[in-house]
A and B are shown apart, each in its own frame.
Chain A
Amino acid sequence: MAHDHNVNPNAPLEYQSEAGRLNITGFWTFLGAEIALFSTLFASYFALQSRVGDGPTSIEMFEAGLVMIMTMLLLTSSFTCGLAIHEMRANNVKGVIGWMIITLILGAGFIGYELYEFVHYVHEGVTLGTSAHWSMFFILLGTHGLHVSIGIGWIILLLIQLARRGLTPKTASKVFISSLYWHFLDVVWIFIFTCVYLMGMVN
């Protein structure tokens, strides 16, 4: 049943096979769980926000410029990821691969800056053990950063498969799912940007 190849040629490629449709529904459900996961992290962050102990507060550490660059990188990558899916609808493998590579480069840039930021804090003496506030900061941002890194690795694998097999209902549904994931991480970042950085720099 699930794996019947009852193909629907009128739908977009990624929705054509039953397996593709199920995978997409399954992934949306997984994103529901991811929302619960990040909500818990945000709730914990808020609960511990004022618990800085002897350590510095956010306002003493954050640098607006760095965060703006990171945000621009990730937002742009979400846009280029959308362009890749657009090319997929036009059945242009080269376009998909090209835009995805740009997406990944932007994502890698984001991770680079994030690592730089973490290392910088550690040099300033702010670490996981400085205070509950900073523990939670590193865990929340680290979880997001880990997600982005895994996304980069995953999409590289998919690009190899695309190059080898071209666009089929199966490769298309995989690429489409990875794009949902990428956009989702972008949305999470917007919340981090607002709740952690902006609010942290105002208080």
Chain B
Amino acid sequence: MDLKWNEFIITGDPLILGAQISILLGGIAVVAALTYFKKWSWLWKEWLTSVDHKKLGIMYILSALLMLFRGGIDGLMIRTQLAKPGMEFLDPQHYNEVFSTHGVIMILFMAMPFLIGLINYIVPLQIGARDVAFPYLNNLSFWTFFVGMALFNISFIIGGSPDAGWTGYTPLATNEFSPGPGQNYYLLAIQIAGIGTLMTGINFFVTILKMRTKGMTLMKMSMFTWTSLITMLIIIFAFPVLTVALAMQTFDRLFGSVLFTLQGDGNPMLWVNLFWVWGHPEVYIVILPAFGIFSEIISTFARKQLFAYKAMVVSIVTISVLSFLVWVHHFFTMGNSAEANSFFSITTMAISIPTGVKIFNWLFTMYRGRITFTTPMLWSLAFIPNFVIGGVTGVMLAMAAADYQYHNTYFLVSHFHYVLISGTVFACFAGLIYWYPKMFGHKLNEKIGKWAFWIFVIGFNVCFFPQYFLGLDGMPRRISTYLPEDGWTGLNMISTIGAFMMGLAFLIFVYNIYYSWRYSPREKTGDAWGLGRNLEWATTSSIPPHYNFAVLPEVTGLDPYWDMKEKGLDQQKNTDYKPIHMPSNSSTPAIMSALMGMAAFGLVFQWYWVGIVGAVGIFITMIVRSFDYNDGYYVSVEEIKETEAKANK
């Protein structure tokens, strides 16, 4: 690809220029601060090379919040452009880029890492383990995700963003109709991050299966752990499909194959199928852990064991199987036979059965419970009705014949925002607030938190509820403007106002992080809410020491920590310490991932020599790793005693 300098760095758009300047200034500020406070080696040794699942969890969550900001700005730009007919805020090309990056970032670089971050932090604690099965791999997963994210995000300042939608449909995404580096960024950035996700899937699958503490059988695991286990299983079978699909489109774009093109007898519909064979399980990857989080929070603050635990487990397993059998519902209108459409219509509707079972389980958990209305509980309560609206409209979309009316209209847009925001995003907020004291040793301020909650939930409904009607009124998705005669002006304006309310709520949420860091009282025990039921609350200190448990807990039933409290057993009184074996930090994953980023960057611009140099570098780091026989180290009994004595003082 022969690019001139001014085509390489994107110029001429005031919005992008503003972003470039603020990124530059922000970058300089961060570097200056780290240098001034002499924090570079601390950052590298304590965080970036850490294999501690808790620190990795926090790094995932921070990245996800950053992406929520970036994706949120994209969303607000879309809504600004659509607020009135004939707006000239974004030109059509820029509009296409913005909705494409918005979708990719929100699903792959916000929702997934947010949930994976929470899983990283909490699941090993809930199963009473000291780390994950493959701590080194865990660090590598984080870095591949991070590099993929970084690569995707620089596209809008260097070379240009992808503009073929988050679905990257062919033939639109082929060289013929999407020339330039944008779509290459999409393919390579998601490829790198996806490999990281697959490694996470394997890692946590084995962790949950093999590293549970004594007495914790599968049917004694917390619901969040169960949903994580099933999510990992879905990842293991769905992500390779994405890997192959992305590689195939990459071959079409870079190496001249003709799989999805209009020449050479290619078949563009094959991409659409492969994308959704991954894509539909993907939406369950981001919703199942959310279900787990709500289950934890609802049973905690209703002070009751989760209602019908077994039915819950059966329904998530059923959902995971069905999630692989419904992908055609994303393209009922694209020329399938009536038989195929009927089959996929029925499987899709079937998914709402186990989902409905879960809704009733949550309601019955609260029935006759003594409910405390904390902010995490408020988010969970708001989830139920909002998610039901998303689910019901999903079933409407599932009727193939009716979908000819709804497909690719704002009705669909509203459906998936109702499930993704009130499901996944509410869960991320709820989970973060709920487990915040576990991560940082103090709670988030409840009063500010409730302001953020109400503004967000109202803003969300103001933004998306009108979109159902816009859709029924025939407003298609992915259009950059419309005419006054279309009659969509009023509802669009309302929708835009709602979007800005959500933006405001996000700012309040972030302010709350700062405020609480300054002013919230520090927690004195491991059980910050006083109502904890699972083992993550059983640690001595509010923030667990790096080895998590000085003595591994033993489990006899569901809700083991609640059990211990009821029986008056104090996990912390057990001082029969033994030396603890822990894995060592490693710097190869960060280097290996950086080299992957370099190779991919080269391929984006078809500078093959950069790709080759990067690939050679990756192999060298792998060889170094293969010869690394570092087996970790032992924490001595004295050190454990010291740490435990200092806990919460």
Q: Give the B-binding residues of A (Cβ under 8 A).
A: 1-5, 19, 21-23, 25-26, 29-30, 32-34, 36-37, 40-41, 44, 47-48, 51-53, 55, 127-133, 135-136, 138-139, 153-154, 157-158, 161, 165, 170
Contacts and interface: CB of A to CB of B under 8 A. Distances in A.
Contacts of A53: 258, 263-265
A47 B267 contact: yes
B198 A52 contact: no
Contacts of A33: 198, 201-202, 236-237, 239-240
29 contacts: A1-B129, A1-B130, A1-B131, A22-B206, A22-B210, A25-B210, A26-B202, A26-B203, A33-B201, A33-B202, A33-B237, A37-B241, A37-B243, A37-B244, A40-B244, A44-B259, A44-B270, A51-B267, A52-B265, A53-B258, A132-B265, A132-B266, A133-B265, A135-B257, A135-B259, A139-B247, A139-B251, A153-B619, A170-B631
Contacts of B244: 37, 40-41, 44
A154 B623 CA distance: 8
Given A33-B239, A40-B244, A135-B258, A47 B582 contact: no
Contacts of A139: 247-248, 251, 257, 259
A41 to B, nearest CB: 6
Given A40-B241, A40-B274, A157-B626, A132 B210 contact: no
Contacts of B203: 26
A149 B265 CA distance: 31
Given A29-B205, A33-B237, A48-B267, A129 B552 contact: no
B240 A36 contact: yes
A34 B259 contact: no
Interface in B117-172: 129-135
Contacts of B581: 1, 3-5
A29 B206 contact: yes
A22 B258 contact: no
A80 B485 CA distance: 76
Interface in B233-274: 236-241, 243-245, 247-248, 251-252, 255-259, 263-267, 270, 273-274
B593 to A, nearest CB: 18
B583 interface: yes
B455 interface: no
B36 interface: no
Q: Report, as a range, how many residues of chain B touch the other chain.
A: 35 or more
A34 B257 CA distance: 23
B211 interface: yes
Contacts of B205: 29
B270 A2 contact: no
A2 B133 contact: yes
Contacts of B135: 2
A55 B236 CA distance: 37
Nearest to B582: A3
B260 to A, nearest CB: 8
A139 B258 CA distance: 11
A161 B626 contact: yes
Interface string B537-556: 00000000000000010000
Nearest 9 pairs of A and B residues by beta carbon: A135-B257, A53-B265, A37-B240, A51-B265, A36-B240, A40-B244, A129-B256, A132-B266, A128-B257
Contacts of B632: 3
A51 B258 CA distance: 10
Query: Which of B206, B210, B239, B258: most chain A Cβ within 10 A?
Result: B258
A170 B264 CA distance: 50
B627 interface: yes
Nearest to B578: A4
A141 B295 CA distance: 46
B154 to A, nearest CB: 28
Contacts of B240: 33-34, 36-37, 40
Nearest to B552: A1
B281 to A, nearest CB: 11
A19 B206 CA distance: 12
B209 interface: yes
Contacts of B255: 128
B177 interface: no
Contacts of A22: 133-134, 206, 210-211
B42 interface: no
A130 B266 CA distance: 10
Contacts of A135: 251-252, 257-259, 264, 266
A40 B245 contact: yes
B5 interface: no
A144 to B, nearest CB: 13
B267 to A, nearest CB: 6
